[in-house]
Amino acid sequence: MAQNRRRPTRQRTAVQALLEQTDDFSSAQELHARLRASGDAVGLATVYRTLQAMAADGDVDVLRTDDGEAAYRQCSTGHHHHLVCRTCGATVEVEGPAVEKWSERVATEHGFTDVHHTLEIFGTCADCARAARSS
């Protein structure tokens, strides 16, 4: 994977701390704005670089929203997928051993190697469904 030769700078620490307080997937822009608002400002480019480095190191998960923006989240370690509310962003980590096996089998059957997959489930969470109904 990647060298964990990252230096512990104020900026990196600030980004990590913010991610720890955050439960939803957030874009680099959002995180940057929140850092600035909290007085712990970090340059936008640095936010991007830090998040990408963390993703490369496997310290955060990334997914692409419907409109193609990258969103990051501090997740538990180990391979898993996400159930994401497309309204409020609430996120649940889910695991599916069967899916993992299926995906690997399918790839092998077709002669593919060096395989990885993306799997995200989007929907409306109970809270948002309720809110929508009573409006």
**Between 12 and 80, whose beta carbon lies closer to DNA?**
12
| Count of chain residues binding a copy of itself (CB under 8 A) | 33
Cβ proximity of 79 and 71 under 8 Å? no
Inter-helix orientation angle 44-56/28-37, to 10°: 130
Find the angle CA(27)-CA(15)-CA(18) to the nearest 5 degrees.
80
Distance CA 105, CA 61 (A): 24
Q: Does 78 bind a copy of itself (CB under 8 A)?
A: no
Judged by CB under 5 A, the residue of 2, 88, 94, 121 near Zn ion is 88
By a kind-dependent CB cut-off of 5 to 8 A, residue 28 interacts, out of Zn ion, a copy of itself, DNA, none, with: DNA
Residue 63 in tokens: 């997914």
What mask, x for binding a copy of itself by CB under 8 A, covers residues 79 to 108? ----x-x------x-x-x-xx--xx--xx-
Q: Name 73's bridge partners.
A: 61
**Between 52 and 124, whose beta carbon lies closer to DNA?**
52
Q: Pick the piece of the chain touching a copy of itself (CB under 8 A) from 12-20, 27-35, 45-53, 112-120.
A: 112-120
